[in-house]
Amino acid sequence: MQGLMMDVPLSITSVMRHAERNHAEREVIALTADGGLKRQTYTETFRRARRLANALARLGLAPGDRGATLAWNDSRHMELYYAVSCAGYVLHTLNPRLPPRQIAWIAHHAGDRCLFADPEFAPLVAAITPQLPELRTVIFLADPRGMPVSGPENALCYEQLLEPESEHFDWPALDERSASSLCYTSGTTGDPKGVLYSHRSTVLHAMAANMADVMGTRSTDCVLPVVPMFHVNAWGTPYFAPMAGAKLVLPGRRAGDPATLCDLIDGEQVTLSLGVPTVWLALLQYLEQTGRRLPGLARVVVGGSACPEAIIDAFRDRHGIEVHHAWGMTETSPLGSFNTPRAGDERLPETDRRQRRASQGRAVFGIELRIVGDDGREQARDGRSCGALQARGPFVASAYYAPDGLVTAQHREWFDTGDVAAIDAAGYMRITDRTKDVIKSGGEWISSIELENLAVAHPAIAEAAVIAAQHERWGERPLLIVVRERGCTAQRDEILQFLAGRVPGWWLPDDVIFVEGIPHTATGKIDKRALRREYAEVLRQRPSADPLLSMR
Amino acid sequence: MQGLMMDVPLSITSVMRHAERNHAEREVIALTADGGLKRQTYTETFRRARRLANALARLGLAPGDRGATLAWNDSRHMELYYAVSCAGYVLHTLNPRLPPRQIAWIAHHAGDRCLFADPEFAPLVAAITPQLPELRTVIFLADPRGMPVSGPENALCYEQLLEPESEHFDWPALDERSASSLCYTSGTTGDPKGVLYSHRSTVLHAMAANMADVMGTRSTDCVLPVVPMFHVNAWGTPYFAPMAGAKLVLPGRRAGDPATLCDLIDGEQVTLSLGVPTVWLALLQYLEQTGRRLPGLARVVVGGSACPEAIIDAFRDRHGIEVHHAWGMTETSPLGSFNTPRAGDERLPETDRRQRRASQGRAVFGIELRIVGDDGREQARDGRSCGALQARGPFVASAYYAPDGLVTAQHREWFDTGDVAAIDAAGYMRITDRTKDVIKSGGEWISSIELENLAVAHPAIAEAAVIAAQHERWGERPLLIVVRERGCTAQRDEILQFLAGRVPGWWLPDDVIFVEGIPHTATGKIDKRALRREYAEVLRQRPSADPLLSMR
């Protein structure tokens, strides 16, 4: 028997309508390229989105066509977020930090029909457009004076495009499962993969984000996403902020500069901000150096990579700012887990509390997380057992986008995150490794990341990498590769001794290799593939002490 | 183009799974009939729900069958909420406070197959079962010692029913639009009407409720619903509390007693409680009399009828408790609007701030509200224009339940709430009347409620009712009917004089009728239908001053 409730779709259009009806005068503030602040209300923002929707129709876009952006966080990008998706097209946010060749590959793969770009990306646009025959129109996000001198011929000016259009536009009724936006994830292996969000997934993700124990956004909040709008929709900020009626501050291209960030947070009374650890580290250092304070900033959300505990502690103890650790991926929209203290945590011993605080938090409602072993069976939620982390839910990707409706790499009931994690009885999840880096030894999993973190705590070690070396008896055994601090001469046994008390005996690396430097990937991570190519075989023929003997 | 996101349904089962995985040890506490407290965790609660689901299958229920309850707020009722809906049946919460004849009518109309009742309702059950041939089984919510001595033959014992069952049950995969629960609304006219909620509407409503600016429930909260679980699903508490991981305190049959309520709030450290104004008035009086304090109670949600400002002020000023005014109906799941201060409200003059605070609040995300005039056109959102209040959204009813799939009174795109309201530019909605009571005079709407509230402020008036009297020229004109305070002799002109400065001239009642008593409905409201039958014609032949003349 079916329920008798209205069949009203979950659409991004409904977020816009809600903000217009209930938060009309709240502001969207953008830092412009010249350092000024552009202020407009949600009403004005969505009025401009209507003009843009009329313009998009005039440009000849058909339902489902991809409209791409190469843009920083600002109010025109916000207008695109709503006009493109709510008019029935698909917003494709390109990452301008990728190599031009990769951007062209992605734009071609996505079949982008038009491209909206900040003027500063004119050289990049000029470089990629020749490779994009299906791209019909380039529009620079500028007024006539701000148009770039170079750039493709026939490029249009955003403000001129909007100028003649009507502020009235009848947003179409959309199927909630229709595509709203597209974001490519560039893994370390293979081609980039496109995640195609739906209106439904986007709205549910924003609702989940606004719950009190997650972002907890209120109409009295002022939100500043440092995370770029081309990076998984700025973690949902362009949707959850208007849904809650929060003021939105968009830092343009200057978000990486701590002085600018500090000015914006202070000047606009930002209460909630989101970004990667490096941003917060830089801001903390700036605050220390200048003695400035940010009394209005209440919450900082950290994601993208693990956040050092020192950052969490410094924000809380020295600035009264609560840091929430979040975990997610492009494929999870991205909010997968979020760290907020749970009832009863305050009664735990300090070490357990710290461990929970430093963890990636608990699954947000809408996401189910589990860990599975090599045999695909779910592992115990005891905080110690590790397994491959899997996710499912209405805002988790089911497949990657492929042209012509071909679907690649269908995820079945669960999505494999590629992370290795432990989950405790209270649901706190701790990422311990990447699946491809974890060391599988005698049926047990050893975390390369934990060994590396312990190793660099040795005063003689400047950098450390742990890889899985092949082993005849144990399958794999950990191999520690280290760069010594200048002038230090610590030897193998001293380093293993140092680790011995701190990890289970069978985790102890079989050997230590001293190198002058460790290779890194383009994004600054340790290049473990290169290390494995070089060192994976060094242990194979070597006998090793029975590591399981020392487990007792 | 369709998005590529997982097709995971929004189901009540997912709420249960989320609580089990992330909030296993949070407690559900119920006050038992003997005054003791029964404590069980969410894990235990849902384990018992699995046993119950096995028992329901053994009782021979088929998908979509209605399982009814006659029960107070306690943990067995909570088990029924999950077992019945998640196993694919429909939970039908009957209101034991209705006349037995009406309960029998509703249970027959719903086609209830089994009935779970608190033992104290045994006489009621005995009275109605003869009229319910399709009812197969009666189960009393008790252990063997608690079984009623009277009651239908063959009635089963809940604990005996569960005892032999397995704790394992594979919850079925459900279509998110399938029916989950059924609740009848007994309007003042016509037969009761059944609202048939879906899994989807229930989950979306709970997500909307948990947003920071609505209930804002956190895992650190402890929620006590005074509102009964047979009254629109206790406003969603049985769903939103486990979704957030909040502790749940269920006050059994004793919720109406302020001393018990105070003990529970204090003893269990309740942070959030929900109920109708009379409950809070009684609690306030009890606190005044005893000098007790409730330092842990942070938020109180008031709905069901308009909350006097004195209650809001007393809670805030004398007890530091924030009162949130909410509005909704059975047909809106029920949360339609919720009052939380908005950014900028603190800068308003005190009178405007008070008006906003006393209003029914702003639409929650998921509900759209609008007001329309007699011609069906939307009225201005200016805080002054009044119109018939309409609602739409994914948790608003589209029709009422009818046996055999017949659908009665299909609501088209908007649901008519039957209320008259004004909405201001910031979205604050103020109910001014019921559609059937508002006085439509010369094309303008006059609020009977506002006139009544002003009239009873006159020291000589004990009770007042304003009805629409028919008028040849103006269509309708307000007629004031009053009961004088004992010993008072105030006359017509004195009373109209008193009102004259307080309302627009054309709102002034055309006459005042003095009566010994005003008739009331069974639920204690003024019976305006009876008054209209008696007095609607008294003005028809009478000339009246041109009311529009005094508008200037």
Q: Which residue has the higher pLDDT, A351 or B360?
A: B360
| Contact state of B177 with A3 under an 8 Å Cβ cutoff | yes
Chain B contact for A184, CB < 8 A? no
Chain A contact for B18, CB < 8 A? yes
Beta strands (DSSP E) in A400-522 are: 415-423, 429-434, 439-441, 444-446, 461-471, 475-484, 511-514
pLDDT tens per residue across span A363-403: 999 999 999 998 889 999 999 899 999 999 999 999 999 88
| Contact state of B217 with A218 under an 8 Å Cβ cutoff | no
Beta strands (DSSP E) in B472-520 are: 475-484, 511-514
| Contact state of A198 with B2 under an 8 Å Cβ cutoff | yes
pLDDT tens per residue across span B25-78: 999 999 988 889 999 999 999 999 999 999 999 999 999 999 999 999 999 999
Chain A contact for B218, CB < 8 A? yes
Known catalytic residue at B217: no
**pLDDT computed for residue A405 by the predictor:** 61
Structure tokens at A462: 């400047």
**pLDDT computed for residue B551 by the predictor:** 37
From chain B, the residues in CB contact with A335 under 8 A are none
Which of B221, B244, B397 is the closest to A4 by Cβ? Answer: B397
Chain A contact for B184, CB < 8 A? no
B89 pLDDT exceeds 70?
yes
Calculated CA dihedral for residues A370, A373, A378, A382, nearest 10 degrees: -70
**Tens digit of pLDDT per residue, chain A (552 long)?**
999 999 999 999 999 999 999 999 999 999 988 889 999 999 999 999 999 999 999 999 999 999 999 999 999 999 999 999 999 999 999 999 998 999 999 999 999 999 999 999 999 999 999 999 999 999 999 999 999 987 788 999 999 999 999 999 999 999 999 999 999 987 656 789 999 999 999 999 999 999 999 999 999 999 999 999 999 999 999 999 999 999 999 999 888 899 999 999 999 999 999 999 889 999 999 999 999 999 999 999 998 877 888 888 899 999 999 999 999 999 999 999 999 988 788 888 988 888 888 899 999 999 999 999 988 899 999 998 999 999 999 999 999 998 876 565 566 789 999 999 999 999 999 999 888 888 988 878 888 888 988 888 898 998 999 999 998 888 899 999 999 989 888 899 999 999 998 888 889 999 999 999 999 877 678 888 899 999 988 887 666 555 444 433
**pLDDT computed for residue B443 by the predictor:** 78
Which of B4, B175, B398 is the closest to A398 by Cβ? Answer: B4
Known catalytic residue at B120: no
Mean pLDDT check: name the lowest of B78-92, B402-416, B478-492: B402-416
Q: Closest residue of A to B414, CA-based? A: A6
Q: Closest residue of B to A63, CA-based? A: B1
Write out the DSSP string of A76-130.
HHHHHHHHHHHTT-EEEE--TTS-HHHHHHHHHHHT-SEEEE-GGGHHHHHHHGG
Residue with tokens 């620079």: A140
Q: Closest residue of A to B345, CA-based? A: A220
| Contact state of A5 with B207 under an 8 Å Cβ cutoff | no
**Interface predicted TM-score (ipTM) of this complex, two decimals:** 0.91
Annotated catalytic residue: which of A331, A340, A476, A507?
A: A331
Which of B178, B213, B397 is the closest to A244 by Cβ? Answer: B213
The Cα–Cα gap between B361 and B344 comes to: 15
The Cα–Cα gap between A394 and A416 comes to: 15
**pLDDT computed for residue B548 by the predictor:** 43
Interface contacts A/B by beta carbons within 8 Å: 238
CA B427 to chain centroid, in Å, comes to 21
CA B232 to chain centroid, in Å, comes to 6
Structure tokens at B206: 């709970």
Which of B17, B64, B212 is the closest to A1 by Cβ? Answer: B64
In this prediction, residues B100-129 reach a mean pLDDT of 96
| Contact state of A5 with B196 under an 8 Å Cβ cutoff | yes
Considering only residues 51 to 70 of chain B, which have any Cβ-Cβ distance to chain A shorter than 8 Å?
63-64
The Cα–Cα gap between B141 and A543 comes to: 67
B180 pLDDT exceeds 80?
yes
User: Is B105 exposed, middle or buried (CB count within 10 Å of its CB: 0-12, 13-18, 19+)?
Assistant: middle
Chain A contact for B230, CB < 8 A? no
**pLDDT computed for residue A552 by the predictor:** 31
| Contact state of B179 with A393 under an 8 Å Cβ cutoff | no
**pLDDT computed for residue A355 by the predictor:** 83
| Contact state of A24 with B425 under an 8 Å Cβ cutoff | yes
From chain A, the residues in CB contact with B220 under 8 A are 341-343
Q: Which secondary-structure segment (H or E) carries A316?
A: helix A309-319
Known catalytic residue at B445: yes
The Cα–Cα gap between A283 and B511 comes to: 71
pLDDT tens per residue across span A127-140: 999 999 999 999 99
Chain B contact for A329, CB < 8 A? no
The Cα–Cα gap between A250 and A194 comes to: 25
Annotated catalytic residue: which of B32, B41, B43, B185?
A: B185
Residue with tokens 């104004």: B277
In which band, very low, low, confident or very high, does the pLDDT at B344 lie, cut at 50, 70 and 90? confident
Known catalytic residue at A185: yes
Annotated catalytic residue: which of B120, B331, B452, B476?
A: B331
Which of B22, B218, B365 is the closest to A427 by Cβ? Answer: B22
Conformational region of residue B208, where left means phi above 0, alpha means psi within -120 to 50, and beta covers everything else: alpha
Q: Are B18 and A368 in contact (CB under 8 A)?
A: yes
CA A106 → CA A115, A528, B93, B95, B343, distances in Å?
A: 13, 25, 54, 59, 41
Selected for mutation to probe chain B from A2, A4, A27, A333 (highest B CB count within 10 Å) is A4
Annotated catalytic residue: which of A171, A445, A506, A507?
A: A445
Which of B7, B366, B368 is the closest to A398 by Cβ? Answer: B7
Q: Closest residue of A to B381, CA-based? A: A21
Chain B contact for A237, CB < 8 A? no
Selected for mutation to probe chain B from A17, A20, A23, A211 (highest B CB count within 10 Å) is A211
Annotated catalytic residue: which of B327, B445, B506, B507?
A: B445
How large is the C-alpha radius of gyration of chain A?
A: 25
Report the 3 state secondary structure along B218-233.
CCCCEEEECCCCCCHH
Which of B4, B195, B342 is the closest to A219 by Cβ? Answer: B342
| Contact state of B4 with A342 under an 8 Å Cβ cutoff | no
Chain A: give the shortest CA distance to residue B129, in Å: 25
Chain A contact for B392, CB < 8 A? yes
**pLDDT computed for residue B362 by the predictor:** 95
Selected for mutation to probe chain A from B14, B18, B22, B65 (highest A CB count within 10 Å) is B22
Chain A contact for B339, CB < 8 A? no
Chain B: give the shortest CA distance to residue A434, in Å: 23
The count of other CB atoms within 10 Å of the CB of residue B58 is 11
Residue with tokens 């002054």: B384
Annotated catalytic residue: which of B43, B440, B450, B485?
A: B440
